[in-house]
Structure 1
Amino acid sequence: MAEKFESLEKSIEKHIPEPELSEVKRILFGKTLRKLDLTKEVLKYAEEKDFELQGFGFDAQPEETRPARNIRVGIIQNQIVLPTTAPLGNQRDALHRRICDMIGAASQCGVNIVCLQEAWPMPFVFCTREKHPWCQLAESAEDGPTTKLMQEMAVKYNMVIVSPILERDEDHCEILWNTSVVISNSGEVLGKSRKNHIPRVGDFNESTYYMEGNTGHKVFQTQFGRIAVNICYGRHHPLNWLMYGQNGAEIVFNPSATVGALSEPMWPIEARCAAIANSYFTCCINRVGTELFPNEFTSGDGKPAHKDFGHFYGSSYVAGPDGSRTPGLCRTRDGLLVTE
């Protein structure tokens, strides 16, 4: 059922008649957001490339003494392209091509900053406890193939790109980290933010690969605003969100990989509460699909050995400091959400 249920939003639209529907949406999502006028060309492109495309705008009260500062943010959720049994290089190359197509669409929508999902150039292997062969997908944050490609995209589209990868720290005994690389629209690597809370529950065996990060709560000044990256499990910790706000963040991204049985009831709440409490925008990105691995693995919750982690339920969304939020992307499809 989890893998077939498309979205909460579509379900309530199907089953709740007007005028009740408008009230339900107001209670669930806050004020009605403006729908962006996306071109027919980009909508057709998304249809041809088989990904969902949505766009919404947050409206603010105009000021008399300061000019308006309007930016567009894009968040991308996606499935893996090739099965986990394919050669590792082929898997990464296929994801590179897929995401470049979607970043191209983001550019057509006028996006200034785009953020990808956690560990996007690879399957989410951190359930398996197998270091071989998966650690071969770790790469340098500064000059690895994924960073180089994203630098090209950033320059091509004049876009800031937040690229979460499995980092191989070649300067420090090849330690692995769960890292988000922040790339300026000039192509410069502005820096990196490492995951600072690591789950050790159920199938999550991430400490087999990396430990808590050492970069603190960095905020990056970009041409389009001050941004921060609160990777995945960090969203469960209110003080984590607080520190990014204390350090001056205006937009905080939460690239994630999380499955329905564990976290879905909390997903629509946590980042929205953080936006309200800290007076910034939050952008939650979750991968989508079910990833099957060649070998069975066991976990700490007593389940029999199994080959999949569960269904990554997508549902990526953006929340504003007034408590309003966009509808979520689909639970079952790749998607690009554009927010102004």
Structure 2
Amino acid sequence: MKIALIQHAFKTTREETCSYILQKIKEAAKQSELVVLQELHNTHYFCQNENTQNFDFACYFDEDITFYSQIAKENQVVLVTSLFERRAAGLYHNTAVVFEKDGSIAGKYRKMHIPDDPNFYEKFYFTPGDIGFNPISTSVGKLGVLVCWDQWYPEAARIMALKGAEILIYPTAIGWFNEDPEDEKQRQRDAWIAVQRGHAVANGIPVVAVNRVGFEKDDSAQSNGILFWGSSFVFGPQGELIVQAGTDKEEILYADLNKKNSEEVRRIWPFLRDRRIEEYAEILKRYCD
């Protein structure tokens, strides 16, 4: 499976950004059969404030479907996008849509875990997904597509693996606040990498995350801006680092994954075999008081 991750910054306008993404997909398609884009890649990260006008971005959803369908078809790639979906008036989702090489929709995933933190006011915009954790079957394999905040939940990764996902994919938007000290910034980035590396090891499958870069500040008193830390990566099924981007520049990352490696890893580390499923009922509780 030859894959490409496109890590980039927002380009002032939606139109300029989409044009940039188009050119990068064309470039990536020359060396890959699966291309992954970052979270909410068409626009700035608008969740830095609570503004009802930002819901207008979701009105492009059908247009985006047509746009990326054509790109996937013209470039003969499986394409993982991250779009703002208007499902109905007052009902919106943070939705990953996967396109097959012929431009058809292979499947979609609606983000399940929705944060609500300073500068990440996503609960204002997104309804939690209601179509479950289901791998998307494509011509390059079964893709366990999740989105950003889902990265921190081993339950999501495990269910995808139990349903046959051959790779975990996380479109992402995460970064630093300038007011945080440098050592805290490093701890946050290290934790972000470590938890996802753990998903690769625990499930014996590769993990891919693609994050945006650059500083974005919303015109709102709610936000002091976010410096997105990039660092997009691919880990193999034993948690081995295959490739990683820098923190401050736009890049296309390439990796060639041999899906047979997961079979070999799971034979020597049979974590799924040794799960004590009869003892896990308490995981369904909010907290074990």
Whole-angstrom CA distance in 2 between matches of 1:265 and 1:214: 31
Unaligned stretches of 5+ in structure 1?
1-70, 83-90, 298-305
Alignment of 1:192-207 (within 5 A): 192-207=108-123
In the TM superposition, residue 136 of structure 1 has moved relative to its aligned partner by: 1.1
In the TM superposition, residue 263 of structure 1 has moved relative to its aligned partner by: 3.3
In the TM superposition, residue 318 of structure 1 has moved relative to its aligned partner by: 0.3
User: In structure 1, which of residues 280, 283, 295 is the aligned counterpart of residue 205 of structure 2?
Assistant: 280
Give secondary structure in 2 for the equivalent of 1:270: helix
Question: How far does the alpha carbon of each residue in 1:119-177 deviate from its partner, in whole angstroms, 9 at most, with x for none?
Answer: 11011111211121x21111465xx22221111111111101111011111xx435110
**Larger Rg, first or second structure (1 or 2):** 1
Residue 140 of structure 2 is matched in structure 1 by 224
Residue 263 of structure 1 is matched in structure 2 by 188
Higher relative contact order (CA 8 A, sep 6+): 1
Whole-angstrom CA distance in 1 between matches of 2:97 and 2:255: 21
Alignment of 1:1-340 (within 5 A): 71-82=1-12, 91-109=13-31, 111-132=32-53, 134-139=54-59, 141=61, 144-169=62-87, 172-173=88-89, 175-260=91-176, 261=185, 263-297=188-222, 306-308=223-225, 310-340=226-256
Give secondary structure in 1 for the equivalent of 2:96: strand
Q: Do 2:243 and 2:255's aligned partners in 1 also have CA atoms closer than 8 Å?
A: no
Q: Do 2:29 and 2:35's aligned partners in 1 also have CA atoms closer than 8 Å?
A: no
In the TM superposition, residue 231 of structure 1 has moved relative to its aligned partner by: 0.5
In the TM superposition, residue 181 of structure 1 has moved relative to its aligned partner by: 0.6
Q: Which residue identity lines up with residue 191 of structure 1 in the other structure?
A: G
Q: Which residue identity lines up with residue 100 of structure 1 in the other structure?
A: L
Q: Do 2:235 and 2:243's aligned partners in 1 also have CA atoms closer than 8 Å?
A: no
Q: Which residue identity lines up with residue 241 of structure 1 in the other structure?
A: A
TM-score normalised by length of structure 1: 0.70
In the TM superposition, residue 323 of structure 1 has moved relative to its aligned partner by: 1.8
For these two proteins, the number of residue pairs brought into alignment is 247
Higher helix share: 2
Q: Which residue identity lines up with residue 93 of structure 1 in the other structure?
A: E
Q: Sequence identity of aligned pairs in percent?
A: 26
In the TM superposition, residue 240 of structure 1 has moved relative to its aligned partner by: 0.9
Give secondary structure in 2 for the equivalent of 1:326: strand
Question: How far does the alpha carbon of each residue in 1:43-75 deviate from its partner, in whole angstroms, 9 at most, with x for none?
Answer: xxxxxxxxxxxxxxxxxxxxxxxxxxxx20111
TM-score normalised by length of structure 2: 0.82
Give secondary structure in 2 for the equivalent of 1:149: helix
Whole-angstrom CA distance in 2 between matches of 1:112 and 1:139: 29
Q: Do 1:96 and 1:146's aligned partners in 2 also have CA atoms closer than 8 Å?
A: no
Q: Which residue identity lines up with residue 269 of structure 1 in the other structure?
A: A
Residue 281 of structure 2 is matched in structure 1 by none
In the TM superposition, residue 211 of structure 1 has moved relative to its aligned partner by: 2.3
